[in-house]
Amino acid sequence: MGIKREIFPFLLMLFVLLPTGYYFAGSIVYNGVAFTNTDCWGNFDQNTPQQFAPLRNEIPLNESENSENISSNIMTGLSQYWWDGYENATIDVKGDDIFLSAWYLEQNSSMPWVIFVHGIRGCKADGSILIPSGMLANAGFNVIVFDLRDHGESSIDDDRVSGGQDEWVDVVAVFDWLVDEKDADPNKIGIYGNSMGAGTAAIAFNLDDRMQSVWLESGYSDMGDIVVEELEFQGYPTFLGGAGIFAGKIIAQQNLVEHYPLDAATEIGDRHMFVVHGNQDKRVRVHHGEKMCNEALENGNESKIECWFQDSVIRYDVGRGMESDEHQTLMLTDTDEYESRIVDFFQRSLL
């Protein structure tokens, strides 16, 4: 009897208290990391395709009191990337009871389309999506930007992001809408994604082999790495990564590591991919882009794969003193080269 009394507290802790504590800690991490921001950090208040600017702290970057390393022509010539004549669309996600809010510009039915996929807690009004879409619109492409589920003006599914695990279906829904409603040739539809949008686009590219051309801007490739790095970025203990993944499965029936963006490179076949990443990126570290690039070159047709890694840091003052940003900034520091590369890539891969 004495031995049983002594072992009972140990068994209670092992089978009840420890799992409960593990789940509780994981739920705090998961809910903190996966939260959404449907306001899109002020972008909806200030940006439309016909007039927009990149924002920092909800202030247009071209109103910065002081800035460094930003290409002069992007700040003085933003209007060249605005696209008038855009239309609104509501796109159903089949089987999910979800709709997606989109803006699109159809200029020429014989020209390719490019779908733009925004990043975490971003939206279709984000300057980092509207600037490159304007570059392609100027080159005659048809373009469409849209809000992923749980973002912007699209349906709220569970008020959480899943790092592309659910959102990749939204990319396919927009692709299908272009084919069904705009009579687009599937071989002439390109995908552009930045940050989480790049991870999402890569997953969609891997799981839908109709997609022939993808541009991945500052995206992640390894879900295991990005979960840990996201915890670090948001100030959570990184050892709780497994607990957060476990809690996500319980709370939202979501497996955050089910699909890996890197598989897009492993299974690329004879398709086209462009990987771009700033060397100093702290939000999504450059090793993700390097890993994606190396895997694609190893498994694909080298003539159809391009990679661009370059130093890129902007410094600005929008009322809080000088701050810096290194994430998806090449379009701001090397605007002319960015425009030349993106137009050339989609012309070669889709035309």
User: Tokens 């003539």, residue?
Assistant: 303
Q: How many Å apart are CA 205 and CA 208, to the nearest integer?
A: 5
Burial level of 274, CB count in 10 A (0-12/13-18/19+)?
A: buried
Report the predicted TM-score, pTM, of the whole model to 2 decimal places.
Answer: 0.93
Give me the pLDDT at residue 28, please: 82
Q: How many Å apart are CA 265 and CA 262, to the nearest integer?
A: 5
- pLDDT tens, N- to C-terminus, the chain (351 residues): 445 455 544 433 434 445 677 777 778 878 887 888 778 988 999 999 999 999 999 999 999 989 999 998 898 999 999 999 999 999 999 989 999 999 999 999 999 999 999 999 999 999 999 999 999 999 999 999 999 999 999 999 888 999 999 999 999 999 999 999 999 999 999 999 999 999 999 999 999 999 999 999 999 999 989 988 988 888 888 887 888 887 788 888 888 899 999 999 999 999 999 999 999 999 999 999 999 999 999 999 999 999 999 999 999 999 989 999 999 999 999 999 999 999 999 999 999
Spell out the domain ranges in the chain.
34-222+260-350
Q: For the chain, how far is it from start to end, CA to CA, in angstroms?
A: 81
Give me the pLDDT at residue 9, please: 47
Give me the pLDDT at residue 6, please: 53
The answer to whether the CB of 98 falls within 8 A of the CB of 127 is no
User: Is domain 34-222+260-350 given the CATH code 3.40.50.720 in the classification?
Assistant: no
H or E stretch at 141: none
The answer to whether the CB of 69 falls within 8 A of the CB of 109 is no
Output the CA–CA distances (angstroms, integers) from residue 243 to 24, 81, 290, in the order listed: 9, 44, 28
Beta strands 213-217 and 272-278 are: parallel
Q: How many Å apart are CA 43 and CA 189, to the nearest integer?
A: 26
DSSP string, 288-339: HHHHHHHHHHHHS-GGGEEEEEE---EEEESSSS-EEE-SS-HHHHSHHHHH
CB atoms within 10 A of CB 19: 12
The answer to whether the CB of 26 falls within 8 A of the CB of 244 is yes
Give me the pLDDT at residue 8, please: 42
The first and second tokens of residue 338, run together, are 């960015």
Q: How many Å apart are CA 110 and CA 204, to the nearest integer?
A: 24
Give me the pLDDT at residue 10, please: 40
